[in-house]
Amino acid sequence: MDQQAGFTLTELLITIAIAAIVVTWGIPGFRGLILNNRAAVDSSDFITSFNQARSEAVKRGVGWRIVMCPGTAAGCSGTAWGSGWVVFVDADANNDHVLNETTDNNGQWDNGEKILQIHGAFNNGNALTSNMTDNSTAYISFQSDGSSRIKGSNAFQLGTFTFGLCNANNQRNIVVINSVGRASMRQQSCPR
């Protein structure tokens, strides 16, 4: 007589109960992993654009500035970095095809200035805010030495950008810009 192998009803119920317990414990941990990865990816995207803008300013040389500002393909708009940003060559603002330090390099995208990169909005609940001083939350401007400077000035542009989504460890990423225009990423506790 041939015997057929299979599960008994008791074995099947025990397996389903164990699977339910594992899933119940695993889902919150998996959610935390997703939140951590989202914050890391968005932070990395911002730093990548930042480094591209800085590198392009060094490559272009004296007299040229590369700007990164919150906005879309239509240009810079407001201070909502989490809605996306634009990296562009900030030169020839008056479209006279002559680079003039007093009239050009105004920190705003003007018709005819070359756009190097457009980054879309965060679509996962992350926010990006800045506590940069000197009204510079509307742009980051790089000179040919790689430093970030305030438009129409040689004053350093310093500050901190904070990603608003707290991860599973109650930490959020912050991007700090130092006096020579370098960015570093750190973590800080989320406000309660």
3-state secondary structure of 142: strand
| Residue 75 belongs to some domain of the structure | yes
Question: Which amino acid would we find at residue 153?
Answer: S
111, 140 Cβ separation under 8 angstroms:
no
pLDDT band at 158 (very low <50, low <70, confident <90, very high): low
Tens-place pLDDT, residues 98-114: 656 555 666 677 777 78
User: β-strand 75-76 against 183-189: which pairing, if any?
Assistant: unpaired
| Residue 4 belongs to some domain of the structure | no
- Domain total in the chain: 1
| Residue 2 belongs to some domain of the structure | no
Give pLDDT, residue 101: 54
pLDDT greater at residue 16 or residue 89: 16
| Residue 38 belongs to some domain of the structure | yes
Question: How far apart (Å, rounded) are the C-alpha atoms in residues 56 and 32?
Answer: 36
Query: What does the block give as tokens for 15?
Result: 């397996």
Taking CA atoms, 183 is separated from 33, 158, 186, in Å, by 25, 10, 10
**Helix, strand, coil percentages in the chain from 3-state DSSP, rounded to 5:** 30, 25, 45
Question: How far apart (Å, rounded) are the C-alpha atoms in residues 142 and 89?
Answer: 10
Looking up residue 177, the CATH number of its domain turns out to be: 3.55.40.10
| Residue 66 belongs to some domain of the structure | yes
| Residue 3 belongs to some domain of the structure | no
Query: What does the block give as tokens for 62?
Result: 């004296």
Domain range enclosing 106: 9-189
pLDDT band at 14 (very low <50, low <70, confident <90, very high): very high
Question: Which amino acid would we find at residue 48?
Answer: T
pLDDT band at 141 (very low <50, low <70, confident <90, very high): confident
| Residue 1 belongs to some domain of the structure | no
Write the DSSP string, 144-182.
TTS-BB-TTS--B--EEEEE----TTSEEEEEEE-TTS-
pLDDT band at 46 (very low <50, low <70, confident <90, very high): confident
